Amino acid sequence: MAVSDLVGVPFPSTLSLFSDQSLQGKIRQIESYIEICSDLNEVYTTLERVEHFNKMKTTKEVCKLLHGTPTAIADDLIYGAVVKYAKAFTNSNGFTQLEKSNVFPKGSADSESHAEIMSLRNKFFAHRELGINHHKLYVIQEPKNSTIILNTSGQVIRATMSKNLQIPKIQSCVSTAQKWVQNKINDISHEITKNLSTDQITQINSISK
């Protein structure tokens, strides 16, 4: 059995037989949704890992050995998860995006949580609008010499985002979005296959593996 028997062959969308604009639009749309679905699956798995890190009961010796690694990893994971989640709802030329109003019922808990996540993404994770984890300039006093020394080595009061965010709220949003996207993929997939002509089906089945 060849790999193509399991995963298939590329849809021949560049051939003239498949140049219909409606079909081309559906292909681009379903490809975007499949990519979004893959990202959301990764985000959900990442959030589960963050939950695991947060629940770890490490001893002082292990913490000393790891130099706080579990917390650092959890924070890096949450950064990536929030940015990747937000990408699904962000406009990109040529790609389908998710609309909040379509995915989450108005006034629902998920709708409110989604707004909070996007605000954090826009004001903290991707930009610097919130006054969190900013560099604070310290000064070392030298009164005897009537001088001062600026300490520029990085005095930053850091908030541990993986422990301050409510992970279950984010997971709920991701889960709702996953289901919505999968339904769209199923609908468009059915729409594409049921409208293919006999010639188009013959052309697809004749592609060499």
DSSP state of 100: H
Say what percent of the chain tops pLDDT 90: 44
Cβ burial of 127 (10 Å; 0-12, 13-18, 19+) is exposed
Q: Which two tokens stand for residue 1?
A: 């059995």
- Tally the domains of the chain: 1
Query: Domain limits at 160?
Result: 3-205
Q: Which of 124, 56, 96, 110 is nearest to 181 (CA)?
A: 96
Q: Which helix (H) or strand (E) holds 129?
A: none
Each residue's pLDDT tens digit, 13-55: 888 998 999 999 999 899 999 999 999 999 999 898 888 777 7
- Is this prediction's pTM over 0.85? no
Average pLDDT of the segment spanning 116-133: 76
